[in-house]
């Protein structure tokens, strides 16, 4: 049984855990304020709040319910547009009305819920953060300027918000119904799920052999929980679900799944014995908000904004992005540049290998059907190295890369003492540029050295022409990204003439 609180009602359901939360909300519960749009996490019309117990409090984040397996709602507080009704318009709803930010109204519930998520965040709300909170919401009527003006009014209304306890403050301001204050105690009374490990991954009907391989080491395929395999039910292993729910949503809707998104032992980011260890079910948003990661990569907040929308980042896991095995996986490319290792658990044993050796070929991993990824780790230097991530896509934000690249450097004086370099979109796998990084190591930072490194890099890559650009175009893009790394990190040392460019 999946048990959770939907608005102010505790729900227990035996529906397949692989069905979408969106369909349960609309068709089982009749809450039609949450709209069905793209079903791919792009439009934001189905955005809801997901509240998770954090000690004595509940932390709320936005999520697209079309990509959320029903099983992932267990033990959570799910809030739809109906669940914020106080009998009058809130400051968010008033701001939308007063600024003409509502026309056909189809997208409005999702936009409102994204703004509510921002109002419940612990940080200070600024115009920029308010607008960023609706980055995953598409509106084809307003032209967005009226929504931006609404964001200005919402920012002003939250100027005196108590960031230590935003839920209580919003209830006291009559912006949220009072039942929100009862949620921590009610969630604490819901027992944790106790599914055991599936003995094998059950094939989803009508899948190709290539996709079967992908399912066996699938997006968001994460460590199993403890339990007797003999008692296990067969099912697809899934965590965030942000890829599988797009690719095989209809098949999953009739399937039982084994969900790992709530496993506390797989959460958390810590520094131990000189390594930063990231649990396999840590989400991309959690990585971007981590003090540990921010200390090591000061630009991580701006980097993260290049990867999907906020509701999707709140669901998608770093390990899921890796085991998806996409040649242009943003997190894979970043972790390769950090020279990360992955810890793999299997029946009766565990093993650790460099991330670059996990990728065997297009969508193929060194990961057996009974194995799973437990964590990702990288060496955590006392003095953080230099780090750069660059990405080119048709849209700046919320788009899949044509080519992406990351680089980590340690420099003493003018000499590169350590280098790790990666690229996506130029090979069947996320590529660790071994020859290029060996060439750069021990050499001075200069324009000539960078251009020589590019010549070596061009021999390492093997791009193909596809919908995101020709092979020649991708070679040019990666060249420019290599230059961008050095120009960003060493603006005073890299001087390139027009002829060199």
- In this prediction, residue 404 carries a pLDDT of 97
| Mean pLDDT, all residues of the chain | 88
Give the sign of the dihedral formed by CA 168, CA 173, CA 175, CA 177: positive
Residues 6 or more apart whose Cβ sits within 8 Å of residue 203 = 212, 215
Pairing of strands 77-79, 2-6: parallel
Q: Do the Cβ atoms of 288 and 295 come closer than 8 Å?
A: no
pTM score, two decimals?
Answer: 0.88
Percent of the chain at pLDDT > 90 equals 74
Q: Shortest CA distance to 116 belongs to which of 77, 170, 160?
A: 170
Pair 217, 122 in one domain:
no
Distances from the Cα of 359 to the Cαs of 73, 316, 325, 429, in angstroms?
32, 20, 7, 6
Q: Do the Cβ atoms of 302 and 125 come closer than 8 Å?
A: no
Q: Do the Cβ atoms of 392 and 478 come closer than 8 Å?
A: no
Q: Shortest CA distance to 276 belongs to which of 260, 303, 297, 301?
A: 297
Residues 6 or more apart whose Cβ sits within 8 Å of residue 470 = none
Side-chain-facing half-sphere of 68: CA atoms under 13 Å? 28
What would the pLDDT profile of 296-346 be if each residue is shown by its tens digit? 999 999 999 899 899 999 999 999 999 999 999 999 999 999 999 999 988
Pair 175, 258 in one domain:
no
- In this prediction, residue 201 carries a pLDDT of 31
Pair 118, 239 in one domain:
no
Last residue of a domain, one of 164, 191, 218: 191
Read off the pLDDT band of 396 (50, 70, 90): confident
Among 26-30, 91-95, 206-210, 370-374, the range scoring the smallest mean pLDDT is 206-210
- In this prediction, residue 408 carries a pLDDT of 97
Percent of the chain at pLDDT > 70 equals 90
- In this prediction, residue 235 carries a pLDDT of 64
Pair 33, 124 in one domain:
yes
Order across the sheet with 269-272: list the strands. 269-272, 275-279, 372-379, 341-346, 349-354
Pair 51, 145 in one domain:
yes
The DSSP H or E segment spanning 117 is helix 108-119
Pair 102, 237 in one domain:
no
Tokens of 223: 């460590």
Query: Is the pLDDT at 285 greater than 90, yes or no?
Result: yes
Query: Is the pLDDT at 210 greater than 60, yes or no?
Result: no
Query: Is the pLDDT at 261 greater than 90, yes or no?
Result: no
Distances from the Cα of 39 to the Cαs of 24, 35, 355, in angstroms?
14, 10, 32
Distances from the Cα of 237 to the Cαs of 52, 139, 198, 219, 266, in angstroms?
21, 34, 8, 9, 14
Q: Is residue 359 in some structural domain? A: no
Query: Is the pLDDT at 498 greater than 60, yes or no?
Result: no
- In this prediction, residue 203 carries a pLDDT of 34
Among 328-332, 376-380, 396-400, the range scoring the smallest mean pLDDT is 396-400
Q: At 412, which CATH number?
A: 3.30.390.50
343: helix, coil or strand? strand
Q: Is residue 324 in some structural domain? A: no
Give the residue carrying structure tokens 């998608």: 316
- In this prediction, residue 314 carries a pLDDT of 95
Give CA–CA dist 491/219, Å, rounded. Answer: 38
Pair 130, 218 in one domain:
no
Pair 62, 170 in one domain:
yes
Q: At 95, which CATH number?
A: 3.10.20.30
Q: Shortest CA distance to 174 belongs to which of 110, 238, 256, 88?
A: 88
Give CA–CA dist 486/464, Å, rounded. Answer: 26
Give the residue carrying structure tokens 């990824």: 373
Pair 45, 147 in one domain:
yes
> How many residues does this entry show for the chain?
501
Last residue of a domain, one of 262, 284, 307: 262
CB atoms within 10 A of CB 466: 11
Q: Do the Cβ atoms of 259 and 409 come closer than 8 Å?
A: no
Tokens of 289: 């908000």
| CA–CA–CA angle 264, 268, 269 (5° rounding) | 165
Q: Is residue 349 in some structural domain? A: no
CB atoms within 10 A of CB 493: 15
Q: Is residue 318 in some structural domain? A: no
Q: Which ranges in 29-101 belong to alpha helices (H)? A: 91-98
Last residue of a domain, one of 227, 242, 262: 262
Q: Average of pLDDT values for 12-17?
A: 93
Q: Which residue range forms the structural domain that includes residue 441?
A: 385-501
- When comparing pLDDT for 207 and 353, which is higher? 353
Pair 115, 178 in one domain:
yes
What would the pLDDT profile of 473-490 be if each residue is shown by its tens digit? 999 999 999 999 999 999
CB atoms within 10 A of CB 268: 15
Give CA–CA dist 424/326, Å, rounded. Answer: 9
Q: Is residue 490 in some structural domain? A: yes
Q: Is residue 459 in some structural domain? A: yes
Pair 13, 92 in one domain:
yes
Query: For the residues of 357-416, what is the DSSP string, one character each?
Result: GTEEETTEES--TT-EEEEEEEE--SS--EEEEEEE-SSSSSS--SEEEEEEEEEETTEE
Give CA–CA dist 205/17, Å, rounded. Answer: 17
Distances from the Cα of 101 to the Cαs of 59, 90, 446, in angstroms?
28, 15, 51
- In this prediction, residue 397 carries a pLDDT of 74
Query: Is the pLDDT at 205 greater than 80, yes or no?
Result: no
Q: Is residue 379 in some structural domain? A: no
Give CA–CA dist 301/368, Å, rounded. Answer: 34
Pairing of strands 236-238, 257-259: parallel
Give CA–CA dist 476/483, Å, rounded. Answer: 11
Query: Is the pLDDT at 47 greater than 80, yes or no?
Result: yes
Q: Average of pLDDT values for 210-214?
A: 35
- In this prediction, residue 208 carries a pLDDT of 36
What would the pLDDT profile of 71-115 be if each residue is shown by its tens digit? 999 999 999 999 999 999 999 999 999 999 999 999 999 999 999
Q: How many domains does the chain have?
A: 3
Give the residue carrying structure tokens 């919401």: 137
The gap between the terminal CA atoms of the chain, to the nearest Å, is 61
Q: Is residue 340 in some structural domain? A: no
Q: Is 495 exposed, middle or buried (0-12, 13-18, 19+ CB in 10 A)?
A: exposed
Pair 228, 183 in one domain:
no
Tokens of 185: 């105690």
What would the pLDDT profile of 215-255 be if each residue is shown by its tens digit? 333 334 333 322 223 223 356 778 898 988 998 888 888 88
| CA–CA–CA angle 319, 323, 326 (5° rounding) | 115
Q: Encode 158-172: b = buried (16+ Cβ within 10 Å), e = exposed.
A: beebeeeebbebbbe
Among 255-259, 319-323, 362-366, the range scoring the smallest mean pLDDT is 255-259
């Amino acid at each position: 049984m999946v048990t959770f609180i939907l608005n102010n009602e505790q729900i227990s359901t035996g529906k397949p855990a692989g069905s979408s939360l969106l369909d349960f909300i609309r068709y089982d519960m009749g809450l039609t304020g949450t709209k069905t749009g793209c079903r791919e996490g792009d439009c934001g019309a189905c955005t809801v709040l997901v509240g998770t117990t954090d000690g004595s409090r509940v932390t709320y984040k936005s999520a697209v319910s079309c990509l959320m397996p029903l099983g992932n709602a267990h033990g959570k507080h799910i809030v739809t547009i109906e669940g914020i009704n106080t009998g009058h318009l809130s400051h968010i709803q008033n701001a939308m009305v007063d600024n003409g930010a509502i026309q056909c109204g189809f997208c409005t519930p999702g936009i409102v819920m994204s703004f509510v998520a921002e109002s419940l965040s612990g940080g200070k709300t600024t115009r920029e953060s308010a607008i960023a909170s609706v980055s995953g919401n598409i509106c084809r009527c307003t032209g967005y300027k009226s929504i931006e003006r609404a964001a200005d009014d919402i920012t002003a209304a939250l100027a005196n918000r108590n960031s230590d306890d935003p839920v209580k403050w919003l209830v006291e301001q009559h912006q949220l119904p009072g039942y929100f204050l009862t949620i921590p105690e009610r969630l604490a009374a819901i027992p944790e799920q106790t599914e055991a490990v599936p003995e094998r991954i059950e094939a989803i009907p009508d899948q190709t052999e290539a996709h079967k391989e992908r399912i066996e080491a699938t997006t968001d395929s994460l460590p199993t929980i403890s339990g007797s395999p003999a008692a296990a039910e067969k099912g697809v292993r899934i965590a965030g679900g942000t890829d599988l729910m797009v690719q095989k949503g209809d098949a999953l809707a009739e399937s039982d799944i084994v969900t790992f998104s709530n496993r506390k032992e797989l959460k958390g980011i810590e520094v131990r014995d000189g390594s930063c260890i990231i649990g396999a079910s840590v989400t991309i948003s959690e990585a971007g908000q981590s003090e540990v990661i921010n200390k090591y990569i000061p630009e991580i907040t701006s980097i993260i904004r290049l990867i999907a929308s906020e509701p999707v980042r709140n669901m998608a896991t770093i390990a899921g992005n890796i085991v998806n095995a996409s040649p242009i996986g943003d997190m894979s490319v970043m972790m390769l540049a950090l020279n990360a290792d992955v810890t793999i658990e299997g029946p009766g044993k565990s093993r650790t290998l460099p991330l670059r050796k996990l990728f065997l070929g297009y969508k193929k991993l060194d990961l057996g059907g009974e194995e799973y990824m437990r964590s990702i780790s990288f060496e955590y230097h006392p003095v953080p190295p230099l780090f750069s991530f660059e990405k080119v896509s048709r849209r700046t934000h919320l788009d899949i890369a044509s080519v992406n690249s990351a680089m980590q450097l340690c420099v003493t004086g003018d000499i590169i003492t350590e280098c790790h370099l990666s690229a996506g979109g130029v090979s069947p796998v996320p590529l660790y540029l071994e020859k290029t990084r060996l060439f750069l190591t021990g050499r001075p930072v200069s324009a000539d050295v960078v251009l020589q490194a590019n010549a070596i890099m061009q021999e390492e890559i093997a791009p193909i022409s596809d919908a995101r650009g020709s092979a020649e175009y991708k070679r040019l893009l990666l060249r420019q990204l290599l230059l961008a790394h050095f120009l960003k990190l060493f603006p005073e040392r890299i001087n390139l003439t027009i002829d060199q460019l």
